[in-house]
Structure 1
Amino acid sequence: MSTADPSNPITSVNPITSVSPGYAAPGIYTNQALLTRLNLDLRGRIFPVERETLMLLPESVLLGLFPQGLILSKPASWEGGDDGVFTVDFNSECFEFILDFWADAQAAFYGTPTSPGLFHAQQSIPPSPTDPNSDINQNPLLTKQAIIVLREELEYFSITTPGALARVDDQGLANDELRALKRAAGEALASKRQIFTALQRNVNKENNQAEQHLIDMLCMSGFNRDDEWGFRACEPTRNLISSMALVLLKTGIVHPGSPGAPADLSAPIIDDRQMGTAQKLLLFWRKPARKCWWDGVEVEVPKSTTSTENMSVKVWARRVWTLELSLI
């Protein structure tokens, strides 16, 4: 596999390659006495999750769930069942969105009792000595469902004018008006759900061709230019908006009956050009990479907590994107 382009706005940032002590990497189990099921308490909402399901989640998500690491092995004195509760500071709706997408993707690829799925059909692709893309031993995209995971953490700072009702007191603490203004600014930003608008604005301002290449690559691989975040919400205790987008990777494998497939197609075939693009995303398999940039926008918020009129407020946003590829 070729080395990542240092000018790429994602790969130019040091990827997350290490994990916290006690964190079990996906697919690696060194202790036989492992919990088979965990109950995750996500801000008051309990999710019973099988260990195998948890370990299939993106590493960037696991690090968000367990920033201090997670011990999956049972203590020597453990006598109960696999019903321990782990308290996790993570949005429950985002976690549910991820689990639902994972379940749907697995069912479509590996099949159900009533449908064989794509995996079964792809085993009939004949290997070619001159085409490594057709060899299931060399190309993991033939035997695994690939999912592009894109996260955004948007930290925002509202700029107030001197003498405004929204201000801080002598101790530097925000008054009620300022807290309300920050909440309103966050809600206004959260309502802007299109994924690529902010990055495209930065491309247009800076004429950054590497960032344009990133957008083009993602849109060739499964996203559409007008796609919206699948999940987007303000964090309850911080001026932060968390967003998540998941999309199946376009591998270039054409199945009979799929849109655009030849009418006489009887077995899956591979579009080598699209497969080549898809394989570039393997650079981010188990190697989440990040990009950070600042963005200034204006949003409309109420003039005060008692006013029905709006005013424009300048907001500075620090956006951090995390890109990762998952194979399930």
Structure 2
Amino acid sequence: MGDGDIITQADSAGDAELAAVVALPQVIVLNLNGTCFKIPRERLLSLPQNILFDLSTGMAQPTESEDEPDSVICVDFSPTCFKHVLDVLDDSDKDLEFIPLADFKVVSPDQGHAGAQDPEISEDEWDNDSIENAPWIEDRLLGIPEVLLHRPAYILLREDLDYYVLSDPKQDWDTTVHLKNRIGENLTCGGNNMQVFNNLRNRDVMDSPEFHLMQMLVLAGVSTDECWGVRERKPNTSKILSMKFCALKIPTEEASEDTLVSLNKLVLFWRKPAKKCWWCQFEQEDVKIHARRVWTLELCISGLAG
């Protein structure tokens, strides 16, 4: 794909998926690919929408036994990524009391944001409305959104990488499998692959949406050499999942105009995960590789109900 790459503003989990989560018991036991987590339902619902969507779509029916009185739900999701998110949340808001959202004046993600309404938007629309110009932000200098002064907020960055190895068709199956495994290992932890922005396309191209995305995140406290919190290959597949979940850096009222504007832009991604997809190609071990990268950005604000 070239200039016509599809850019989407991902919906939160659909009504059916969210209904399945809300209908769960007060305490849930999640079996994530063999690793169990016991978590209160309210705590589960406070997780980023992107995580909830994956949990709900990969969820099997709860099972009960005499030895295990709690409902156990099996989900095809990375336990390492799930633990990474829980560990970051537990560092600051484990005992946080939930309060009504109506108590705060929060910018609605649907107001003035073209991408929030459209299932698909073009790259031009992404350039104008999502990162660079942000027409929904008023001309006057915005302060720090009130909700961020009282509630912990977090940035979720995620990359889903699918890679395709164009090996010699005359090569036997075992050799092909070993080749894919080696390349998968190289893409997972080799070189600078652990750095978040290393593989972000056009990040050094001035005024590109990726450039503005990186600048926005850097002003929010993500360093340019930030490393993924988790980067792992899904067993027996050509898929690599990377995730960075970190606390949002709240500036002082004396912060620069650029910092405050970036902070208000990020609020637009609260409960509205935004996705960007692109293809790239390169060579490793004298074979061509095509890779599809999907980036997801979301802002998570803890301790809000409703």
Name the amino acid aligned to 2:50. Answer: S
Q: Give the 5 Å matches for 1:245-256.
A: 245-253=244-252
The offset of 1:210, in angstroms, is 1.7
Match of 1:284 in 2: 269
SS at match of 2:200: helix
Equivalent in 30, 33, 36 of residue 40 of structure 1: 30
Aligned mates of 1:218, 1:25 — CA distance in 2 = 33
Give structure 2 stretches of 5+ with no counterpart.
98-139
Q: C-alpha distance in 1, partners of 2:20/2:210? A: 30
Cα deviation for residue 275 of structure 1 reads 3.2
Which residue in 2 is equivalent to 1:303? Answer: none
CA distance in 2, matches of 1:160, 1:317: 14
Q: In the alignment, which residue of structure 2 is the partner of 1:139?
A: 146
Change in 2 beyond 3 A, CA 1:22/1:319? closer
Q: Give 2:175's aligned residue.
A: 177
In the alignment, the residues of structure 1 paired with residue 280 and residue 301 of structure 2 have an alpha-carbon distance, to the nearest angstrom, of 32
1:149 maps to what in 2?
156
CA contact (8 A) 1:105 1:145 kept: yes
Residue 260 of structure 2 corresponds to 275
What stretches of structure 1 move > 3 A for 4+ residues in a row? 68-72, 79-82, 130-134
Q: Which residue of 2 aligns with 1:322?
A: 296
Q: Who wins on radius of gyration, i.e. which is larger?
A: 1
Aligned residues: 253
The separation in 2 between residues aligned to 1:287 and 1:71, in whole angstroms, is 27
| Amino acid across the alignment from 2:79 | S
Alignment partners' CA distance in 1, 2:60 and 2:149: 31
In structure 2, do the counterparts of structure 1 residues 189 and 97 end up closer, same or farther at CA, with 3 Å as the change threshold? same
Partner of 2:110: none
Match of 2:49 in 1: 59
Q: How many Å separate the matches in 2 of 1:314 and 1:323?
A: 29
Q: Who is 1:188 aligned against?
A: 186
Q: Counterparts in 2 of 1:1-328, with a 5 A limit?
A: 12-24=7-19, 35-67=25-57, 83-106=70-93, 133=143, 139-161=146-168, 163=170, 167=171, 175-191=173-189, 192-200=193-201, 202-203=202-203, 209-253=208-252, 271=255, 273=257, 274-299=259-284, 311-328=285-302
Aligned AA for 1:316? H
- Structure 1: which 5+ runs fail to align? 1-6, 73-78, 112-129, 169-174, 254-268, 300-310
What's the CA shift for 1:214?
Answer: 1.1
3-state SS of 2:158 partner: strand
Root-mean-square deviation (Å):
3.5
TM-score by length of 1: 0.67
- Is the Cα contact below 8 Å between 1:35 and 1:82 reproduced in 2? no
Q: Which has the higher contact order (CA 8 A, sep 6+)?
A: 2
Structure-1 separation of matches of 2:47 and 2:239: 23
